[in-house]
């Protein structure tokens, strides 16, 4: 009897496989790190073969733990969204390194398109802005700079990470779900179809692109684990987390703090239009019907802590940042603007560079570490202000991701946002959302509202600081951000 859903959660720094039962309990997890390649400043790459091999190994371990493929009702997949992969349809092997969502090599190309007046039309059709973050400009770069991609002809397949995994799992099915397609700069948000004009703008060969499909349903079968297992749930990681947090009604909001940080607010059945440089995106599509979201994207969150650990040596582990932050009463006037790969919403300045400001001889290691953690709340306040100006203010924020295991940071978010912050006791909401979609797709649940029973108990954090203290910090942050943005324009 099929008792479990197998979720493949392919992130930026690691990939994992997890087993869920119908009640939402996790019965096993296996993860593996993914190698980050930085061939030049501003460039970030992955080895697509490594992504597949390590994902498959994790999945195989979980199938064995479940007791065999016959115990798996369905597979759900969630993934880092804008990373793009190029492979050979005949050999099934990558043609080039995967270009990761953090990669900024197309900044000059995007700037040129903006200067030529393309952005307003692109935003109207896709809900997105012209930024290196999205897949379209990466495809354009590859078609003009990688002969092995440009000359592949009808052998070429292009897709985001879930497309790559499905191709490998099924032996050649080339599809993408609507959430991932909506992040390419080539899908018309209203119709949910590829847009010929945008495909031409980014020099993308249409025949190499996948078919756009729903997020829940029957999407082919894999036999690689010794028996047939259907693939029934697909969503980009931030949309999956929105579902896993049960933000199923218009106005409900979640924030995920992983490598980057992303806030999505359910916008209902009509594509939202932002005047504050937020993104409109597909939250999910089931039965051909799309639910939309308004999104704010922070490029650097957990990766800042990783940088402090691995590149600067300021901390030994991410877990110790909470104790370090508590060891001082405030930030000592120190502010960290973590523009290590530019600044995302609402500023969208790819040329901005990180800065730590306000230091003096009295500044210690703890002040810098605390300032790094405080940057998460500061950046989120900037997003909240933009969402409110777009008529989508938050009354509470449901948070998840690896960073929010830090109680100090969760409380700091509540303090600076001045709203209730809600954290589920089971933190892997991205994987849970993929499980919910797969549960709908395989018939476990009638719809996502029924599947929301998989979400468990939550902890709440209420604001506790004085308004004057909050405002002083925000004033300092605003000054620090303006300095960084000013330097980027010089």
CA 417 – CA 296 distance, rounded (Å):
15
Output the CA–CA distances (angstroms, integers) from residue 216 to 184, 189, 433, 448, in the order listed.
20, 19, 11, 10
Region 31-55: mean pLDDT is 94
Within a 10 A sphere around the Cβ of 84, how many other Cβ atoms? 27
Residue 1: pLDDT above 60? Answer: no
Residue 488: pLDDT above 70? Answer: no
pLDDT tens column, 105-127 = 999 999 999 999 999 999 999 99
Lowest average pLDDT, out of 274-278, 380-384, 437-441, goes to: 274-278
CA 35 – CA 467 distance, rounded (Å):
44
Residue 490: pLDDT above 60? Answer: no
**Helix 302-310 and helix 365-389: axis angle, to 10°?**
160
Residue 152: pLDDT above 80? Answer: yes
CA 156 – CA 149 distance, rounded (Å):
7
* pLDDT given at position 478: 94
The answer to whether residues 358 and 374 touch, using CB atoms and an 8 Å cutoff, is no
Burial class (CB in 10 A: 0-12, 13-18, 19+), 462: exposed
The answer to whether residues 139 and 158 touch, using CB atoms and an 8 Å cutoff, is yes
Within a 10 A sphere around the Cβ of 166, how many other Cβ atoms? 26
CA 194 – CA 210 distance, rounded (Å):
10
Region 304-332: mean pLDDT is 93
The answer to whether residues 152 and 88 touch, using CB atoms and an 8 Å cutoff, is yes
* pLDDT given at position 441: 96
The pLDDT mean for the chain works out to: 93
Nearest to 408 by CA among 299, 298, 324: 324
Specify if 230 maps to a domain: yes
Residue 150: pLDDT above 70? Answer: yes
* pLDDT given at position 261: 92
Region 326-336: mean pLDDT is 95
81 is in which domain, residue-wise? 4-237
Region 130-157: mean pLDDT is 94
**Percent of the chain topping pLDDT 70:** 99
* pLDDT given at position 352: 87
* pLDDT given at position 371: 96
pLDDT tens column, 221-235 = 999 999 999 999 999
* CATH number of the domain that residue 220 is part of: 3.30.420.40
Within a 10 A sphere around the Cβ of 163, how many other Cβ atoms? 27
Specify if 336 maps to a domain: no
380 Cβ neighbours under 8 A, 6+ residues apart: 255, 261, 263, 298, 397, 413, 416, 417
* pLDDT given at position 258: 86
Distance separating the N- and C-terminal Cα atoms of the chain: 64
Q: Using 50, 70 and 90 to split pLDDT, how confident is the model at 486?
A: confident
Dihedral class, residue 217 (left if φ above 0, else alpha if ψ from -120 to 50, else beta): left
Beta pairing, strands 175-177 & 187-188: unpaired
CA 101 – CA 288 distance, rounded (Å):
27
CA 10 – CA 32 distance, rounded (Å):
10
148 Cβ neighbours under 8 A, 6+ residues apart: 95, 96
Specify if 50 maps to a domain: yes
- As for how many domains the chain has, the answer is 1
Specify if 58 maps to a domain: yes
Region 60-78: mean pLDDT is 96
Q: Using 50, 70 and 90 to split pLDDT, how confident is the model at 242?
A: very high
**Percent of the chain topping pLDDT 90:** 87
Specify if 378 maps to a domain: no
Q: Using 50, 70 and 90 to split pLDDT, how confident is the model at 341?
A: confident
pLDDT tens column, 384-424 = 999 999 988 999 999 998 899 999 999 999 999 999 999 99
Specify if 301 maps to a domain: no
Output the CA–CA distances (angstroms, integers) from residue 165 to 13, 154, 157, 400, in the order listed.
16, 20, 13, 25
What are the b/e assignments for 213-252, b being 16+ CB within 10 Å? bbbbbebbbbeebeeebbbbbbbbbbbbbbbbbbbbebeb
The answer to whether residues 136 and 186 touch, using CB atoms and an 8 Å cutoff, is yes
Q: Using 50, 70 and 90 to split pLDDT, how confident is the model at 58?
A: very high
Specify if 470 maps to a domain: no
Specify if 443 maps to a domain: no
Region 237-246: mean pLDDT is 94
pLDDT tens column, 429-461 = 999 999 999 999 999 999 999 999 998 889 999
Residue 163: pLDDT above 80? Answer: yes
Nearest to 401 by CA among 334, 305, 326, 309: 305
Region 65-69: mean pLDDT is 95
Residue 489: pLDDT above 90? Answer: no
Q: Using 50, 70 and 90 to split pLDDT, how confident is the model at 42?
A: confident
* pLDDT given at position 64: 96
């Amino acid at each position: 009897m099929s008792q479990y859903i197998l979720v493949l959660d392919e992130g930026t720094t690691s990939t994992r496989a997890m087993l869920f039962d119908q009640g939402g309990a996790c019965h096993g997890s296996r993860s593996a790190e993914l190698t980050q390649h930085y061939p030049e400043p501003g460039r970030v790459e992955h080895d697509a073969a490594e992504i597949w091999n390590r994902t498959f190994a994790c999945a195989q371990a979980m199938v064995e733990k479940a007791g065999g493929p016959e115990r798996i009702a369905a597979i759900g997949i969630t993934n880092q969204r804008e990373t793009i992969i190029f492979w050979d349809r005949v050999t099934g092997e990558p043609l080039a390194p995967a270009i990761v969502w953090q990669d900024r090599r197309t900044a000059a190309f995007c700037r040129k398109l903006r200067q030529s007046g393309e952005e307003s039309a692109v935003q109207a059709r896709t809900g997105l802005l012209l930024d290196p973050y999205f897949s379209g400009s990466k495809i354009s770069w590859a078609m003009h700079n990688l002969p092995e991609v440009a000359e592949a002809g009808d052998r070429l397949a292009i897709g985001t990470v879930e497309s790559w995994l499905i191709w490998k799992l099924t032996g050649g099915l080339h599809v993408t779900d609507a959430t991932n397609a909506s992040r390419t700069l080539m899908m018309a948000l209203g119709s949910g179809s590829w847009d010929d004009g945008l495909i031409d703008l980014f020099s993308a060969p249409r025949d190499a692109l996948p078919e756009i499909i729903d997020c829940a349903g029957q999407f082919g079968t894999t036999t690689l684990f010794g028996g047939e297992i259907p693939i029934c749930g697909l969503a980009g990681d931030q949309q999956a987390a929105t579902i896993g947090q049960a933000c199923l009604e218009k106005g409900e909001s979640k924030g995920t703090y992983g490598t980057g940080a992303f806030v999505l607010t359910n916008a209902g059945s009509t594509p939202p239009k932002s005047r504050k440089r937020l993104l409109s995106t597909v939250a999910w599509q089931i039965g051909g019907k799309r639910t939309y979201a308004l999104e704010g994207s922070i490029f650097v969150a957990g990766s800042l802590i990783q940088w402090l650990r691995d590149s600067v040596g300021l901390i030994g582990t991410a877990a110790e940042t909470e104790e370090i932050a508590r060891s001082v009463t405030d930030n000592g006037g120190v502010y960290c603007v973590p523009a290590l790969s530019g600044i995302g919403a609402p500023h969208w300045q790819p040329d901005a560079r990180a800065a730590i400001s306000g230091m003096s001889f009295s500044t210690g290691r703890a002040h810098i570490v605390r300032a790094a953690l405080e940057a998460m709340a500061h950046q989120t306040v900037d997003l909240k202000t933009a969402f409110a100006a777009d008529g989508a203010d938050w009354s509470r924020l449901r948070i998840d991701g690896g960073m929010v295991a830090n109680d100090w940071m969760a409380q700091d978010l509540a303090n600076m946002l001045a709203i209730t912050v809600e954290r589920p006791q089971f933190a892997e909401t991205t994987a849970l959302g993929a499980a919910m979609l797969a549960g709908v797709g395989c018939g476990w649940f009638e719809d996502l509202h029924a599947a929301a029973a998989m979400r468990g108990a939550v902890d709440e954090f209420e604001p506790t600081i004085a308004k004057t203290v909050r405002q002083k910090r925000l004033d300092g942050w605003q000054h620090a951000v303006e300095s960084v943005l000013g330097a980027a324009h010089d």
